[in-house]
Structure 1
Amino acid sequence: MYYTFYKYQGTGNDFVMIDNRDLHFPKNDTKLVKKLCDRRFGIGADGLILLENDDSTDFRMVYYNSDGNESSMCGNGGRCLVAFAKQLGIIDAETTFIATDGLHYATINEEGIVSLQMKDVDEVQEHENHVFLNTGSPHHVQMVEDLHIFDVRNQGAKIRFSDLYGQAGSNVNFVSQTDENKFALRTYERGVEDETLSCGTGATAVAIAMKATGKTNSSIIELQVEGGTLEVSFTEKNGIYSHVFLKGQATFVFEGKIEV
């Protein structure tokens, strides 16, 4: 059995894309998804995304973490899927699609820059040493010093599996401020169970958290992730963050066939 796949990356966050409009892919086969994402025995990726037909939008996004389990929204994955839909000829410069957290609108230009509208955020939980919020996926946001040498993998895992977030866990972002409206972050992603080079919902969460805690007054924030640069913009009124957009490059890497 062969599967045709397409590899994409958004600021180093990489994904296996499969056109599943004919529903040929066995969606409940977690072992297969895990194998395809394996960097030694498969294609290698942080996640796998199926593009499927949807009656009311241009397409449906079905996202799996590299552990093989279907997961919550992935911002960089959504941006890459928009680029994939454009490559397939499904869309041109703008689109609407459905994901696990609801409806999304996005635009893509000729340079492959995708601006993806994320869900509104109406609750930001501020604690003594961290902030928690949900941007389509749950995110713990914590300021640290010496981010470049911080032990993201071990400290992230400790928080992700702590009693603070129970069995479901949370993604964990460690942040340092580099300018008035610029922040650097490194993210430990649940489901991948390691640091990734970028996390779109994480960058979105950090931007909103920095605004909510007064670290910046800007509503357009630049995020330096390990794999590049993302921009998050939003409108804030009475603690509600709307018109939230995640913007950055989404790049086609290669396509191929794999026997399973």
Structure 2
Amino acid sequence: MSGKLYFSKYQGAGNDFILIDNRSDVFGPKDIDFVKKLCDRKFGIGADGLMLLQDIKNFDFEMLYFNADGREGTMCGNGGRCIVAFARDLGIIDSKTAFMAVDGTHDAKISASQVDLGMIDVQEVKQDGEAYILNTGSPHYVSFVDDLGEMDVYAKGYAIRNNDNYRKEGINVNFIEAEENGYLVRTFERGVEDETLACGTGATAAAMAVAVHNQLEGDMEIPIRVLGGQLYISFRKEGSYFTNVRLKGPADFVFNGEIVR
């Protein structure tokens, strides 16, 4: 395909994304190398991932997500919040929406730059040693630490993501530490293969790990601070079953641009 391709850049708590309105199939066939080039921070636009907003029956839109390595990814929570803001700015939705993603349907509410996104229920939390393993739309490893400010998250996250248990399928590695008013979380993301400023499904997984670790039950909201900002995760916990899961935080427009192919 040749010609101009228009895009928008959004970020949610420092997780940044390239968004393309693909309702007219302007993106064409999926091209791993092209997506990887666009996400490259030195030779492209630069982003943690790329999303296509597409038409789908019975929903406002479909979210198709690609990791920075060019491969189609699993659910991205901050990406989901950003595509809701993108849909609002395109005039597709007003203040509420229901859309389809790779892990199923999601609902969301948006007010100014704040997006409240419904996430999938979680029915199982496993352990790997003292770490918690769960899937919040993407697979996550959550480890409690007490030196997160000084930790080499890239080195430790890379080692866990590439060990014998997780090398083939990959896993997102989250480190969490208690603070005075909540928790700090830092994440090494598969697909980006680096630490990112935020991870929405990771923050959600970390909040659930807090509830399991502290044997909490019922309805709760847990503040999660990431390097790029503040997120809030709420849910109802009954045993190992999490329902009414919400991911709340900012989603901001950065700039528009065009690519000549």
Determine if the TM-score, normalized by the shorter chain, exceeds 0.5.
Answer: yes
1: CA distance between counterparts of 2:182 and 2:127? 20
2: CA distance between counterparts of 1:25 and 1:70? 14
- The letter of the residue matching 2:18 is V
More deviation in 27-36 or 199-208?
A: 27-36
SS at match of 2:149: helix
Selected match of 1:80 from 79, 82, 92: 82
2: CA distance between counterparts of 1:244 and 1:14? 23
2: CA distance between counterparts of 1:103 and 1:213? 29
- Alignment partner of 1:35 is 2:37: yes
- 1:70 aligned partner: 72
Deviation at 1:255, TM superposition (A): 0.2
1: CA distance between counterparts of 2:144 and 2:109? 32
2: CA distance between counterparts of 1:119 and 1:137? 10
Alignment of 1:20-169 (within 5 A): 20-109=22-111, 111-169=112-170
2: CA distance between counterparts of 1:132 and 1:27? 34
Distance verdict in 2 for CA 1:223–1:216, change over 3 Å: farther
| Structure 2: gaps of 5 or more residues | none
2: CA distance between counterparts of 1:94 and 1:173? 30
SS at match of 1:230: strand
2: CA distance between counterparts of 1:129 and 1:149? 21
Distance verdict in 2 for CA 1:234–1:96, change over 3 Å: same
Report sequence identity in percent. 52
Distance verdict in 2 for CA 1:108–1:64, change over 3 Å: same
1: CA distance between counterparts of 2:260 and 2:116? 34
2: CA distance between counterparts of 1:159 and 1:227? 23
Structure 1 vs Structure 2 CA RMSD: 1.3
- Alignment partner of 1:213 is 2:221: no
- Alignment partner of 1:191 is 2:160: no
2: CA distance between counterparts of 1:103 and 1:239? 22
Q: Deviations over 1:26-83 (max 9, x none)?
A: 3421111011111111111000000000101100000000000000000000000000
Deviation at 1:203, TM superposition (A): 0.2
2: CA distance between counterparts of 1:177 and 1:115? 24
- The letter of the residue matching 1:99 is A
Pairs aligned (count)? 258
Deviation at 1:127, TM superposition (A): 3.7
Q: TM-score under structure 2 normalisation? A: 0.96
Deviation at 1:148, TM superposition (A): 1.0
SS at match of 1:148: coil
SS at match of 2:107: strand
- The letter of the residue matching 2:239 is N
- The letter of the residue matching 2:163 is S
Deviation at 1:215, TM superposition (A): 6.8
Q: TM-score under structure 1 normalisation? A: 0.96
2:5 touches 2:26 (CA, 8 Å); kept in 1? no
1: CA distance between counterparts of 2:150 and 2:66? 30
1: CA distance between counterparts of 2:179 and 2:14? 21
Deviation at 1:126, TM superposition (A): 2.8
Distance verdict in 2 for CA 1:158–1:104, change over 3 Å: same
2: CA distance between counterparts of 1:193 and 1:216? 33
Deviation at 1:146, TM superposition (A): 1.4
